[in-house]
Chains A and B, each alone.
Chain A
Amino acid sequence: MQHFQETIRSAAASQLPLRIRGSGSKDFYGARLEGDVLDTRSYRGIVEYEPTELVFTARAGTPLREVEAALTEKGQMLPFEPPYFGPDATFGGCIASGLSGPRRACLGATRDFVLGVRSLNTSGDDLQFGGQVMKNVAGYDVSRLLTGSFGTLGLIVEVSTKVLPIPDDEQTLRLEMNEKQAIETMNRYAGQPLPLSATCFVENSLYIRFSGAASAVSAARKQLGGETIDGKAFWQSVREQTHPFFSNSGTLWRLSMKSTTAPLMLGPTLIEWNGSLRWISVDADLENMQSAASKAGGYATLFRAQTRPKAIQYLSPTMLALHKRIKRALDPEGIFGPHRLHDEF
């Protein structure tokens, strides 16, 4: 901690940017990577874990696989199935990137399970927001603001998340259909009281995962028909983007939008989250992708590209102005990951 504080204070004094980094598994994401690396990996370890509290607390540099192993041992899990995107991904990086996996639409995102964050600000002050309890509305929700901020608002040093029991049973089935039918089907099932835990459409197949009590999973499985497949490998490939769909080395767009939006016809597509997340592999510019997404109530992110883009997301002028004010409020010296998320802050 002291080392972090000194590094931050000297960076602030000399106005030199810092690039907060775990293993670098998410380095591909973002507009620019500026500044000296502040490596979080030396600050590691589980701080507190009592399974009956459903709360898990660890230091930012703890490898995500150690976190998941500790939880698995007690029959629990991180409900948001975070992607690693690299073998040594850290817990802090997982929270700071805020990325969530296949279970997101059914159980919630990283931000939904973050209970508290301990962080260092530009002055090196040790801050504690939220805590280890399920509900806390004292003060603004800074823990969630830091979640997904990609190290641009402060250094996350310790995080508490809510965890959940691993479901007793899980089954995945595959149904053959086209994209339009798949979107309709996902939305129809999501509107029914079924033990859904993930959906994905790719290459004319709709994959549906059920999780929960064995009796409920089999009942749902029977109701829907289709072919049962080995779900583990499939969902892992979607979560880690190792599925052949992602092997195209071109540009990968991530469009988040209203789940019922009809096929966008913009390029090869993989759909998750009951229709509200569309991965599209196509060389296009942000303006065009944003316009397609915003017509559907959403937005586009340039997720992976061959060359570093100038911007990965579009913010309206009023939103941009507010983002700049918030960035200035939390990082007045502007030293934390400048321009990682946007050209202008």
Chain B
Amino acid sequence: MYDEEELKPFECDGLSAYRKLPLAVALPESEDQIRAVLKICHEGRVPVVFRGAGTGLSGGALPYEHGLLLGLSKLKRILEIDPVARMARVQPGVRNAAISEAVAQHGLYYAPDPSSQIACSIGGNVAENSGGVHCLKYGLTVNNIMKVRFVTIDGELLEIGSEGLDAPGYDLLALITGSEGLLGVVTEITVKLLPSPVKARVVLAAFDDVGKAGQAVADIIAARIIPAGLEMMDKKATGAVEQFIGAGYPLDAEAILLCESDGSEEEVESEISRITEVLRATGATQIRVSRDEAERLKLWAGRKSAFPAVGRILPDYFCLDGTIPRKQLANVLKRIGQMQDTFNLQCANVFHAGDGNLHPLVMFDANDDDQLHRAEQYGAAILELCVEVGGTITGEHGVGIEKINQMCVQYRTPELTTFHSIKHAFDEHGLLNPGKAVPTLQRCAEFGAMHVHRGEEKFPELPRF
């Protein structure tokens, strides 16, 4: 497709503040077609950006104006389910939730459950190493896939991983997971399936202070409990959710925790009583345990709809994704709160507390240039704060275009050089997803010139202008 009208639906992903039209869009129907298209692009040195469902939040699937956008949406077949060996082989365009739906009849499920799971594609999950509310116990995408078919820019097909639990040579499966479409395209995925737990119950705990909620998270872990999920939301987030779907969250609480236990009847009962004990001791003002599956799902529905709920307050939001050591939760939340005044913008907080993975939602109106600019600065300040306390700029959403400058804060020249060498080993001419995920040293020098971090001059070896 190359008519402007046809290209329009592909102009952005979930980071809708940035939009661009590609030269053309191709929607192949088979791996052979993908290989043929890539060969042509390779020969003609045409840049290529892959796109799954376009739910990414870092602009990873933002088109390149002088390149092709290659969408995987037509490759959406589940090719094989092997319930005994507990694995499924699927095409990259299959929706995350569709896998668990298809294998449920065998008492199995696919564990990583991003909140976007009804829409996002498994290929996109691999490209971003996506997580979900249950990854504290069950891991991220990288821990739950066994094998992929992978096509590099020259059309070469690789089988990475195996149907066993490891593969010969280097761990290339880990290397390509989370590589954001910079190394090649995933054309088939074999995922690991887990037996569905017999039972799951969730505890909702309310706190009159964010610090106490943060402490409760540490106390649960200290009590040797690894909950299936451990999520936190602040007052702004619960307020938005209540207006949106009415999950039954207490509106007067400064923060709430959702803590899930799953497993056999015996495991869940004993864990739930230990969890409630810890929460009470940390000073929860209210504790509610789901009595049945309907109540459990309702409590989670609130968490899973937090982003769209916030999206109804102001037309746009940046969803940040920094991850920090758990012990820094209260401190970082306080500082994020204080920055609201600095940038004169509102920020709601939703996060995977058990993993220390924050999702501050900075709200703004993109039609107002000044607000957009302030929101970008606010976001950057939050990410730099995460690095400062020993964390990372992205836990699961990827760098994309959004956090490209903050890569210069997190890494120094030798690490970035290593990344570029790896990229070169897969994509010599730099045709895949140019300008994303790994900044050039030049870009970092320019960024560093505007932005001296902690008084250190970064990239002193590069010329400045």
Residue ranges of A at the interface with B (Cβ–Cβ < 8 Å)? 50-55, 75, 98, 104-105, 108-109, 111-112, 121, 123, 125-129, 131-142, 144-145, 147-149, 153, 164-165, 168, 187-188, 190-195, 212-213, 215-216, 219-220, 255-260, 273, 276-277, 296-299, 301, 313-316, 318-319, 322-323, 325-326, 328-330, 332, 341-342
**A132 B267 Cβ-Cβ under 8 A:** no
20 additional A-B pairs beyond A108-B143, A319-B169, A326-B422, beta carbons within 8 Å, are A52-B327, A105-B165, A109-B165, A129-B415, A133-B323, A133-B391, A134-B354, A136-B394, A138-B410, A141-B129, A144-B171, A187-B84, A191-B84, A213-B267, A219-B266, A297-B163, A298-B162, A313-B168, A318-B158, A341-B169
**A137 B178 Cβ-Cβ under 8 A:** yes
Give min CB distance, A212 to chain B, whole Å: 6
Give min CB distance, B23 to chain A, whole Å: 27
Given contacts A136-B394, A137-B397, contact A258 B164 (CB under 8 A): yes
Give min CB distance, A133 to chain B, whole Å: 5
**B85 A53 Cβ-Cβ under 8 A:** no
**A127 B415 Cβ-Cβ under 8 A:** yes
**B107 A330 Cβ-Cβ under 8 A:** no
**A315 B108 Cβ-Cβ under 8 A:** no
Give min CB distance, A338 to chain B, whole Å: 15
**A141 B271 Cβ-Cβ under 8 A:** no
Interface residues on B, range: 35 or more
**B218 A112 Cβ-Cβ under 8 A:** no
Please list the 7 inter-chain residue pairs (A to B) with the smallest Cβ-Cβ separation, ordered nearest first.
A297-B163, A256-B164, A144-B174, A135-B395, A329-B421, A165-B224, A125-B414
Chain B residue nearest to A120 in the complex (CB): B414
23 A-B residue contacts at CB 8 Å? A53-B325, A134-B355, A134-B395, A135-B131, A135-B135, A135-B352, A137-B129, A139-B415, A140-B419, A145-B172, A165-B225, A190-B195, A191-B86, A192-B107, A195-B263, A213-B266, A256-B166, A257-B162, A277-B165, A318-B157, A319-B169, A332-B421, A342-B169
Q: Which of B321-362 contact A (CB under 8 A)?
A: 323-327, 352, 354-357
In Å, the complex CA distance between A191 and B87 comes to 10
For the complex, is B294 an interface residue (Cβ under 8 Å from A)? no
Chain A residue nearest to B174 in the complex (CB): A144
Neighbouring B residues of A135 by C-beta, 8 Å: 131, 135, 140, 323, 352, 355-357, 392, 395-396
**B158 A322 Cβ-Cβ under 8 A:** yes
Q: Which of B134-148 contact A (CB under 8 A)?
A: 135-136, 139-140, 142-143, 147
Give min CB distance, A109 to chain B, whole Å: 7
Pick the residue among B85, B147, B352, B392 that contacts A187 (CB under 8 A): B85
For the complex, is B245 an interface residue (Cβ under 8 Å from A)? no
Neighbouring A residues of B410 by C-beta, 8 Å: 138-139
Chain B residue nearest to A258 in the complex (CB): B163
Given contacts A193-B198, A326-B425, contact A52 B263 (CB under 8 A): no
**A213 B270 Cβ-Cβ under 8 A:** yes
Neighbouring B residues of A127 by C-beta, 8 Å: 414-415, 418
Given contacts A136-B394, A165-B226, A195-B264, contact A323 B422 (CB under 8 A): no
In Å, the complex CA distance between A62 and B140 comes to 29
In Å, the complex CA distance between A37 and B163 comes to 36
Give min CB distance, B137 to chain A, whole Å: 10
Pick the residue among A98, A216, A273 that contacts B267 (CB under 8 A): A216
Give min CB distance, B230 to chain A, whole Å: 11
**A98 B171 Cβ-Cβ under 8 A:** yes
**A52 B218 Cβ-Cβ under 8 A:** yes
Residue ranges of B at the interface with A (Cβ–Cβ < 8 Å)? 82-86, 106-108, 128-129, 131, 135-136, 139-140, 142-143, 147, 156-159, 162-172, 174-175, 177-179, 183, 195-198, 218-219, 221-222, 224-226, 263-264, 266-267, 269-271, 323-327, 352, 354-357, 390-399, 403, 407, 410-411, 414-416, 418-419, 421-422, 424-426, 437-438
Give min CB distance, A309 to chain B, whole Å: 14
Give min CB distance, A87 to chain B, whole Å: 26
Neighbouring A residues of B195 by C-beta, 8 Å: 190-194
Neighbouring B residues of A213 by C-beta, 8 Å: 266-267, 270-271
**A193 B264 Cβ-Cβ under 8 A:** yes
Chain B residue nearest to A112 in the complex (CB): B143
**B169 A51 Cβ-Cβ under 8 A:** no
Interface centre among A135, A149, A193, by most B CB within 10 Å?
A: A135
**A314 B168 Cβ-Cβ under 8 A:** yes
Chain B residue nearest to A278 in the complex (CB): B164
In Å, the complex CA distance between A267 and B24 comes to 57
In Å, the complex CA distance between A125 and B413 comes to 10
Neighbouring A residues of B264 by C-beta, 8 Å: 193-195, 216, 219-220
Give min CB distance, B323 to chain A, whole Å: 5
Given contacts A258-B164, A313-B169, contact A142 B418 (CB under 8 A): yes
In Å, the complex CA distance between A139 and B169 comes to 21
Interface centre among A140, A165, A301, by most B CB within 10 Å?
A: A140
**A141 B142 Cβ-Cβ under 8 A:** yes
Pick the residue among B135, B172, B224 that contacts A75 (CB under 8 A): B224
Pick the residue among A142, A148, A260 that contacts B84 (CB under 8 A): A260
Neighbouring B residues of A195 by C-beta, 8 Å: 263-264, 267
Interface centre among A165, A194, A318, A322, by most B CB within 10 Å?
A: A322
Given contacts A53-B325, A132-B390, A215-B270, contact A296 B163 (CB under 8 A): yes
Give min CB distance, A149 to chain B, whole Å: 6
In Å, the complex CA distance between A316 and B163 comes to 16
**A131 B425 Cβ-Cβ under 8 A:** no
Chain A residue nearest to B269 in the complex (CB): A215
Neighbouring A residues of B107 by C-beta, 8 Å: 191-193
Given contacts A108-B139, A131-B390, contact A212 B164 (CB under 8 A): no
Pick the residue among B106, B143, B326, B394 that contacts A53 (CB under 8 A): B326
Given contacts A137-B128, A140-B175, A141-B142, contact A55 B325 (CB under 8 A): yes
**B164 A137 Cβ-Cβ under 8 A:** no
Given contacts A258-B163, A299-B164, contact A193 B196 (CB under 8 A): yes
Give min CB distance, A166 to chain B, whole Å: 8
Neighbouring B residues of A108 by C-beta, 8 Å: 139, 143
**A133 B163 Cβ-Cβ under 8 A:** no
In Å, the complex CA distance between A268 and B135 comes to 39
In Å, the complex CA distance between A145 and B416 comes to 16
In Å, the complex CA distance between A126 and B222 comes to 33
Neighbouring B residues of A215 by C-beta, 8 Å: 266-267, 269-270
Pick the residue among B140, B170, B175, B327 that contacts A50 (CB under 8 A): B327
**A132 B325 Cβ-Cβ under 8 A:** yes
